[in-house]
Chain A
Amino acid sequence: MLQATNLTKKYGDFTALNGLNLSINSGDIFCLLGANGAGKSTTINLFLNFIEPSGGQATINSMDVKQYPKETKQLLSYIPENLMLYPNLTGLENLDFFCGLGGKRYSKEQLEELLAQSGLQPDFIHQRVSSYSKGMRQKVGIALARARGAGVLLLDEPTSGLDPKASNEFSELLLDMKEKGVATLMATHDLFRAKDTGTHIGIMKEGVLIEQFKSEDVSFQDLEKLYLKHMHN
């Protein structure tokens, strides 16, 4: 469903991503680990078509995101590290607004249900987003992904800064979406979350995907050792 073929991004002499080959199928959660500047966000930005590749291609459902920007955009949802919503609107209004931007209309009850399914406390649904915590905003993001019915979910360090409870709730929502066949690419620093939630794990360093394996094939301790080994070499 999500495929990177020799995907490369250069900024002048600097290579941010170097020949990435990656394949994520329906129901997979692929966690990209790596230090800052390893190329994780660049990979996500390339799939989002926010930046143009210097070489190779990123495809969603076999469609090149550069050639078919509108079609591929319809297939994906995106939650950044710090999901920013309109503070003057309530959570429900934000959800309604962003669904409307994508041409989808839902009734008030449906929107309330989507937010409730995403774990947002009912008391907050009709409160302005200016009073929301980061975790609550991320839940609106999940509700939005559900509302879009997108088959692909791109997450850029979504649990960064969340408390363990909120982080755990977020993982449960991801697993729920996995069950629905959503293909997820998540950039993260959180080894525990990657092992716990991901079906596949990749380790990136200096723009190169140096390791990729199924998460069930490694224990958490082995993952930690492997990660640290690559980071220190």
Chain B
Amino acid sequence: MTNVTRSRPLSPHLQIYKPIPTMVMSIMHRITGGALYFGTILVAWWLIAAASGAAHYDWVSWLFGTLIGKIVLFGYTWVLVHHMLGGIRHFIWDLGYGYEKHFATKMAKATIIGSATLTLIIWIVGYLVR
């Protein structure tokens, strides 16, 4: 019986198919969602630091301002923008549009290009208005 179960043919799965944009963006939506989940720790930390007074805030601010801190914040922004654009794609589908194969692929590609572009714009604007 064990042998029968073991030698059963397996249906093709992730490792068989060539990754296509819609597939990649689907799992990216979940991964970015998961990253944002844990990223809320940073948000809570920043707000609590601001509420606990200048001394602790200055230290946290210094930490976020280091090169690694900046990369993390920039990455966090990108992840957020990417998840938001992914979500807007879902709204389009919810409304009953955008199911055509080639259009869906275009939307998937637009998500990644759009998220990278918007993240850059946000940080440029963020620095300009200081």
On whether the two chains bind one another, the answer is no
Mark A residues whose CB is within 8 Å of B. Answer: none
